[in-house]
Chains A and B, each alone.
Chain A
Amino acid sequence: MKTTYREALREALREALTADERVFLMGEDVGRYGGAFGVSLGLVEEFGPERVRDTPLSESAFTGIGIGSALAGLRPVVEIMTVNFSLLALDQILNNAATLRHMSGGQFSVPLVIRMTTGAGRQLAAQHSHSLEGWYAHIPGIRVLAPATLADARRMLGGALADPDPVVIFEHGSLYNLSGELDEDGAAPGIGAAAVRRPGHDVTLVTYGGSLPKTLAAADVLAADGISAEVVDLRSLRPLDDATVMASVARTHRAVIVDEGWRTGSLAAEVSARITEQAFYDLDASVRRVCSAEVPIPYARALEEAALPQPASIAAAAGEVVGRHG
């Protein structure tokens, strides 16, 4: 079936709303406007304003309501327009959602799903373009997912709703228009595992979310140069699937991490440290990182492109790591 990332997300929401009466969607403009990125278009007509709820411009308030209703037995899906705005709700996410199970000695859990957009590449300027997945991946008590393919957009939500603890799902803004074939009856992929998106034997490119298509493009460029790159899609940013990454590094002996977050203190830094801790004696070159320039993401197209990881910069880093040996 030909579909898009946006439609796959919508189909996942439709399926969840149909399957379980406790599920409801809420957020700014998710109802009558159909969502800031058109994900929930048409759902309010189908399920009514009680289950597809427009909220005021107050991230802290509606995320808090999500936590409260999850505690009360519902299965809320909260949409936050971008990760930048989610910081207004960070107190709720970090101090309440992520901690309540622990602070109640396991008596309460918060089965809440928060979806938010992340990332740059669409000329929306700094306040709508940052990639702060690493900040959320830092928090114990929540699960952080980053669907990067149509299949993950279609099926990760089910696994997230089944999780008794809070799950944050990052949808990269540049992926919404991604289109392709989606297997209608495909099995639901596990939400904890990383995936090898392209096998190879010279270098492992570790990435996630919006950087996956760029990394796959870089692998094509490398293949033309005779370098075989393996592409690992993390999919789950917390917990990280170390086993898949280390198994890949054990095959290729080299690693480049592609992360649209800023380099300093990034998720890429975490992955790099884990590779050094767990696969040091498999490494045949130092681990490299391709991250965003450490500036607020610029508005001007050329500057924005220059600030982000691109297929050319990814391929260049991989080429350096592989050296002349091919």
Chain B
Amino acid sequence: MGEFRMPALGADMAEGTLTEWLVSPGDRVTKGDPVAVIETAKSAIEVECFESGTVARLLAEPGTVLPVGAALAIIEPAAAPRTTADATPPTAAASRAETPEAARPPLEAPLPTGTAGVRTAEPPAVARGAVRGETGPLVRRLAAERGVDLTAVRGSGRGGRVTRADVEHAAGKGAAVMATRSTRANVPRVRATPYARRLAAELSLDLAVLTGTGENGAVTAADVREHLRGRVPGDGRRSGAQATEPAATRRDKHDLRDKAAGSSPEQALGPATTTTVRAAAGATARADRATAMRRAIAELMSRSKREIPHYYLSSTFDLGAAADWLRAHNHDRPVGERLVPAALLLKATALAVHEVPRLNGFWREDGFVPGDGVHLGIAVSLRDGGLLTPVIHDADALPPAALMARLKDVVRRARTGRLRGTDVSGATLTVSNLGEHGAESVYGVIHPPQVALVGFGTVVERPWAVDGLIGVRPVVTATLSADHRASDGATGARFLTTVGRLLRHPEKL
């Protein structure tokens, strides 16, 4: 039995508001599935669960503010290590019937030492061993094609060997589970045009709250726009748009907003209700969030300046080679696949950390703890003010094109409020790139408990000495703000020099 707890989504988070459950009791969840939407001072974030199992009980109502670490839900482990992870019966009803413990109060659930435990005591180990040692390449290929995890398949062949039939069997069950999942959701599909669907997704708008006026009642782009006009706070058209809504809808929204504000905590849980709460609460929450975000930034930055003895270095690099390489690289590519200098700057930063690992990690309890990889925090300024720092994990391992794609993805999701828990946690080093705003250099404030922040200014053309002659070159000023407790100026200087050296050979990035 596991408790799903309020996660700490960043060093600055002490409490969060549960705004929406994405699961209901009885749902099966797999590690990494989003289960709830948590509103922090900065943003609404979809939080993933850390274990697989069945949701037994939800302990908190949407709208509740809870401290980090507070239990939010009980998740029953997936019937211990059952041999086949996908061995779910084909219907939800059957699933509940077979796992009665899910329906019982969690504390009375039997410990996993009963028959289930006996049944599954040793076979997984055998199966695992068999996979490593004895599964033939044909079976492995088949498994890869069908998306079957061999480690989760119980082998029926000689010595526990996994056979073709086992893989086929597992694949078939997997398909049945998928089918169950899609039907179980039981939410009627909203009729919407592809364009409206795309717009709504980009704007993080739930289609279910819209009224369709298109062909056969389909939601069209105009309906999406109409809805947006109606909910922008401070917009004079807001009241007008509301007045055109049916009275019942308007009343519902009022009720729900009151509930969301906390006056009526015992509201029913259900997808329709919660999504409406999200939409209705969205407008009022937005104004509050701007204030809250400012307060959170203030708190974190004050703490940083109070606790961290910063030292600052800067260096200006010739980007001629990088610019030439980018031009050649982008020449034949469609706009969507082109790289911008930021991709190279991030990649160079991530690689430079390999040579100067002292800047990549955390200062904890009077000691430096190196990061478990190079996870770059990207400072993203939001259009209506404020700052978020989503993370690009393992940035050092991504080719520039993939890095560029990840960068675009997290920036877009940060700006549309669709970040997930994994997007905001685990940064080991933050990069602030104010290039697009025209500043030539940025001396940043370190994001605790990290020990350094790298700043890049805008790329400008400057007279520059090359081989004893003055030429005009594109240059960029890179800065380092570092924690003097964790490193010294010489370390920082070596880091900046390394970044500059890497940028001279963009083809190797």
Chain A residues at the B interface, C-beta cutoff of 8 Å: 253, 280-286, 323-325
Is A323 in contact with B214, judged by CB distance below 8 angstroms? yes
Within 8 Å by CB of B194, from A280, A323, A324, A325, lies A280
Q: B195 interface residue, CB < 8 Å from A?
A: yes
Report the 7 A-B pairs with minimum CB-CB distance, sorted nearest first. Answer: A325-B222, A284-B195, A281-B198, A284-B193, A284-B221, A281-B194, A280-B194
Chain B residue at minimal CB-CB distance from A323: B214
Q: Compute how far the CA of A285 lies from the CA of B193 in the bound complex, rounded to whole angstroms.
A: 6
Within 8 Å by CB of B195, from A253, A323, A324, A325, lies A253
Other than the given A284-B193, A284-B194, A286-B215, 7 more pairs (CB < 8 A) read A253-B195, A280-B194, A284-B196, A284-B220, A284-B222, A285-B193, A285-B214
The interface residues of chain B lying within 8 Å CB-to-CB of A282 are: 194-195, 198
Q: B213 interface residue, CB < 8 Å from A?
A: yes
Is A283 in contact with B193, judged by CB distance below 8 angstroms? yes
Which one of B194, B214, B220 has the highest number of Cβ atoms from chain A below 10 Å of its Cβ?
A: B194
Which positions 271-328 of chain B face chain A at CB distance < 8 Å?
none
Q: Compute how far the CA of A20 lies from the CA of B198 in the bound complex, rounded to whole angstroms.
A: 54
Is B220 in contact with A324, judged by CB distance below 8 angstroms? no
Is B220 in contact with A325, judged by CB distance below 8 angstroms? yes
The interface residues of chain B lying within 8 Å CB-to-CB of A285 are: 193, 214-215, 220
Q: Compute how far the CA of A237 lies from the CA of B213 in the bound complex, rounded to whole angstroms.
A: 35
Chain B residue at minimal CB-CB distance from A326: B222
The interface residues of chain A lying within 8 Å CB-to-CB of B214 are: 284-285, 323
Is A281 in contact with B195, judged by CB distance below 8 angstroms? yes
Q: Compute how far the CA of A324 lies from the CA of B221 in the bound complex, rounded to whole angstroms.
A: 12
The B interface is mostly helix, strand or loop, or mixed, namely: helix
A-B contact count (CB 8 A): 35
Chain B residues at the A interface, C-beta cutoff of 8 Å: 193-198, 213-215, 220-222
Q: Compute how far the CA of A281 lies from the CA of B398 in the bound complex, rounded to whole angstroms.
A: 29
Q: Compute how far the CA of A253 lies from the CA of B194 in the bound complex, rounded to whole angstroms.
A: 10
Is B193 in contact with A324, judged by CB distance below 8 angstroms? no
- Listed A/B pairs (27) with beta-carbon separation below 8 Å: A253-B195, A253-B221, A280-B194, A281-B198, A282-B194, A282-B195, A282-B198, A283-B193, A283-B194, A283-B195, A284-B194, A284-B195, A284-B196, A284-B214, A284-B220, A284-B221, A284-B222, A285-B214, A285-B215, A286-B215, A323-B214, A323-B215, A323-B222, A324-B213, A325-B213, A325-B220, A325-B222
CB A203 to nearest CB in B, in angstroms, measures 13
CB A285 to nearest CB in B, in angstroms, measures 6
The interface residues of chain A lying within 8 Å CB-to-CB of B222 are: 284, 323, 325
Chain A residue at minimal CB-CB distance from B193: A284
The interface residues of chain B lying within 8 Å CB-to-CB of A280 are: 194
CB A230 to nearest CB in B, in angstroms, measures 16
CB B203 to nearest CB in A, in angstroms, measures 14
CB A206 to nearest CB in B, in angstroms, measures 17
Chain B residue at minimal CB-CB distance from A286: B215
The interface residues of chain B lying within 8 Å CB-to-CB of A284 are: 193-196, 214, 220-222
Is A323 in contact with B213, judged by CB distance below 8 angstroms? yes
CB A199 to nearest CB in B, in angstroms, measures 19
The interface residues of chain B lying within 8 Å CB-to-CB of A324 are: 213
Which one of A253, A280, A284, A323 has the highest number of Cβ atoms from chain B below 10 Å of its Cβ?
A: A284
Q: Compute how far the CA of A280 lies from the CA of B196 in the bound complex, rounded to whole angstroms.
A: 11
Q: Compute how far the CA of A323 lies from the CA of B217 in the bound complex, rounded to whole angstroms.
A: 11
Chain A residue at minimal CB-CB distance from B223: A325
Q: Compute how far the CA of A283 lies from the CA of B195 in the bound complex, rounded to whole angstroms.
A: 5
The interface residues of chain A lying within 8 Å CB-to-CB of B213 are: 323-325
The interface residues of chain A lying within 8 Å CB-to-CB of B196 are: 284
The interface residues of chain B lying within 8 Å CB-to-CB of A286 are: 215
Q: Compute how far the CA of A246 lies from the CA of B197 in the bound complex, rounded to whole angstroms.
A: 18
CB A75 to nearest CB in B, in angstroms, measures 34
CB B200 to nearest CB in A, in angstroms, measures 11
Q: Compute how far the CA of A280 lies from the CA of B220 in the bound complex, rounded to whole angstroms.
A: 14
Q: Compute how far the CA of A282 lies from the CA of B220 in the bound complex, rounded to whole angstroms.
A: 11
Q: Compute how far the CA of A325 lies from the CA of B194 in the bound complex, rounded to whole angstroms.
A: 17
Q: Compute how far the CA of A283 lies from the CA of B198 in the bound complex, rounded to whole angstroms.
A: 10
CB A233 to nearest CB in B, in angstroms, measures 24
The interface residues of chain B lying within 8 Å CB-to-CB of A281 are: 194-195, 197-198
The interface residues of chain B lying within 8 Å CB-to-CB of A325 are: 213, 220, 222
Q: Compute how far the CA of A235 lies from the CA of B213 in the bound complex, rounded to whole angstroms.
A: 35
Q: Compute how far the CA of A324 lies from the CA of B222 in the bound complex, rounded to whole angstroms.
A: 10
Chain A residue at minimal CB-CB distance from B225: A325
Chain B residue at minimal CB-CB distance from A280: B194
Q: Compute how far the CA of A285 lies from the CA of B213 in the bound complex, rounded to whole angstroms.
A: 11
Q: Compute how far the CA of A323 lies from the CA of B219 in the bound complex, rounded to whole angstroms.
A: 12
The interface residues of chain B lying within 8 Å CB-to-CB of A253 are: 195, 221
Q: Compute how far the CA of A281 lies from the CA of B193 in the bound complex, rounded to whole angstroms.
A: 8
CB B192 to nearest CB in A, in angstroms, measures 10
CB A322 to nearest CB in B, in angstroms, measures 10
Q: Compute how far the CA of A285 lies from the CA of B222 in the bound complex, rounded to whole angstroms.
A: 11
Q: Compute how far the CA of A259 lies from the CA of B222 in the bound complex, rounded to whole angstroms.
A: 28
